[in-house]
Amino acid sequence: QVQLVESGGGVVQPGRSLRLSCVASGFTFSSYGMHWVRQAPGKGLQWVAVISYDGSNKYNADSVKGRFTISRDNSKNTLYLQMNSLSPEDTAVYYCAKATYAVGTNSELDYWGQGTLVTVSS
């Protein structure tokens, strides 16, 4: 069965960095695009970033452009989100999610991890 397990969340001061990881199993990781989606406490879902199956295409939301970088290591079945210059507005549960296509943002998200909480506070 498909499993996505995020890690790397925690409490971090404003302006600092954090790297999230998502380990995938139960499917051919290298064949699918992968997304990060976040959810601020008590709020709705916000798309963050997507990466193509081979890592050659990446797209970010405007709200994180220039600060967050999505990447993947297909040899380790792992997705990453490097988050720099964090602000309190980035406080959220971060979910990794599997796309149903290999490339682009045009995909529903058919499997989600349980999420990892990032809290940005001094």
**Interface residue list for another protein (CB under 8 A):** 35, 44-47, 50, 59, 61-62, 95, 100, 104-115
Q: How far apart are CA 67 and CA 83, in angstroms?
A: 6
d(CA 85, CA 68): 9
Nearer to another protein, 38 or 122 (CB): 38
Contact (CB, 8 A) for 8 and 116: yes
| Cα Rg of the chain (Å, integer) | 13
Pick 34 or 113: Cβ nearer another protein: 113
Q: How far is the CB of 84 from another protein (least distance, A)?
A: 20
Shortest Cβ 7–another protein spacing (Å):
15
